Amino acid sequence: MSARTSRLGALVALTVAGGLVLSGCAGQTDPASTSDAATGTADGFPVTFEHIYGTTTIESAPERVATWGWGVTDAVLALGIVPVAVSSMDYGGGENRITPWVEDAIADLGGEEPVILDSATYELSIEELLATDPDVLIASYSGLTQEEYDAVTNAGVPVVAPEEALWSTPWRDVITDTGKALGMDAEAEELLAGLDQQVADAAAAHPEFAGTTIAYAADDVDTFYLYLPADPRVEILEDLGFVTAPSVTALDDGAATFYTTVSGEKLDQIDADVVFTQVESEDALNTFLTSARTQLIPAVAKGAVGAIVGEENVSAISPTALTVPWILPEIVEQLAAATAAKG
């Protein structure tokens, strides 16, 4: 198995992505404020967070913000702040290990480039982080360990850790938690309302999506995945009007909260009007569409398949403050074609 395929497997399993091709960043929302923006005023502090490792209180508005995990960097940037340190994106981030929507947002805001914290092994380098002299570490959607949390807090830096479990904080909560940590609650609510409106407008423009059953599938080497309604990527599809096919939940073996695996002999039981999938290349898409085993799925046999192609775009499927506007037009285009093909 190649390193690239291994990273895709990690993305599938963690949804880090959780957790689709546009030209440039068409449709991307402008950041909430300009590059010289400051975080909230002192009036909003202190603020307190309850999370898996206890309680964190941020006494005053942070000026130097560090981020770790998925989606938090996007939320900070969308609120008009360039972090001093961000976690690397080793899947979809290219040679510079920054996703294109993050890179564009940093360029739009200006200011000093953030330090890229190596997250290739999902392990936080405490030394590397502390060298950036952060006022806060926001890691609400991450794999931050107890040991890492203790090391950072013992160094005097407050940490916003995941709410209830690692890699599980809902993407909307990532935005509102980030706004709270920055003293920008109102701005975060406005940002989230704008994102929800973009999805609602897309759904209204495509009434044919309403009630159409869908199965979000991914074929990764020897493992066939079906994503469940708890996955934020499925949530976006349902927000557009689609309904997760009952056959998907019927095939759930209960081993995970947001996905299940399906053996080859059960693929014909995936009864959905439309199948949505993610692949790294056009060759991989062709294999998905034509292989003997995926042809067992009725919607695939009909050609009622919407596909997102390429590392950057696969990474972008997991919703964040920046990926929703970046990838939504492509998702909608693919789903419209797949829905038309269902017959």
- Among left, alpha and beta (phi > 0; psi -120 to 50; other), residue 332 is alpha
Question: What per-residue confidence (pLDDT) applies to 1?
Answer: 31
pLDDT in tens, 197-253: 999 999 999 999 999 999 999 998 779 999 999 899 999 999 999 999 999 999 999
Question: What per-residue confidence (pLDDT) applies to 177?
Answer: 98
Question: How far apart are the C-alpha atoms of 26 and 128, rounded to whole Å?
Answer: 34
Question: How far apart are the C-alpha atoms of 234 and 216, rounded to whole Å?
Answer: 7
**Centroid of chain to Cα 3:** 21
Q: Which residues pair with 136 in a beta bridge?
A: 65
Q: What is the DSSP string of 186-224?
A: HHHHHHHHHHHHHHHHHHHH-GGGTT-EEEEEEEETTEE
Cβ 206 vs Cβ 54: under 8 Å: no
Does the pLDDT of residue 337 top 60, yes or no? yes
Question: How far apart are the C-alpha atoms of 118 and 187, rounded to whole Å?
Answer: 30
Question: What per-residue confidence (pLDDT) applies to 221?
Answer: 76
Give the CATH fold of the 198-341 domain: Rossmann fold (3.40.50)
pLDDT in tens, 273-316: 999 999 999 999 999 999 999 999 999 999 999 999 999 999 99
Question: What per-residue confidence (pLDDT) applies to 10?
Answer: 32
pLDDT in tens, 249-274: 999 999 988 899 999 999 999 999 99
- Report how far apart, in Å, the C-alpha atoms of 270 and of each of 164, 167, 215, 234, 277 are: 32, 27, 7, 16, 13
Q: Where are the domains of the chain?
A: 33-183, 198-341
Confidence of residue 75 (pLDDT cuts 50, 70, 90): very high
Question: What per-residue confidence (pLDDT) applies to 43?
Answer: 74
- Report how far apart, in Å, the C-alpha atoms of 55 and of each of 58, 104, 157, 200, 245 are: 10, 34, 13, 35, 40
Which tops the pLDDT comparison, 90 or 286? 286
Q: Which of helix, strand or coil describes residue 238?
A: helix
Residues for the chain: how many in total?
A: 343
DSSP class of residue 44 equals G
Taking each helix axis from N to C end, the angle separating 323-341 and 100-109, rounded to the nearest 10 degrees, works out to 140
CB-based burial, 148-171: b 16+ in 10 Å, e otherwise: bbebbbeeebbbbbbbeebbbbbb
Question: What per-residue confidence (pLDDT) applies to 31?
Answer: 39
DSSP class of residue 114 equals P
Which tops the pLDDT comparison, 113 or 41? 113
Cβ 243 vs Cβ 214: under 8 Å: yes
Helix (H) or strand (E) holding 275: strand 274-279
Question: How far apart are the C-alpha atoms of 277 and 313, rounded to whole Å?
Answer: 12
Question: How far apart are the C-alpha atoms of 160 and 173, rounded to whole Å?
Answer: 12
Question: What per-residue confidence (pLDDT) applies to 95?
Answer: 82
Specify the amino acid at residue 293: R
Task: HSE, CB side, 13 Å, CA atoms: give it for residue 269.
Answer: 14
To the question of domain 33-183 being in CATH 3.40.50.1980, the answer is yes
Confidence of residue 33 (pLDDT cuts 50, 70, 90): very low
Here the tokens at position 1 are 């198995």
Does the pLDDT of residue 324 top 50, yes or no? yes
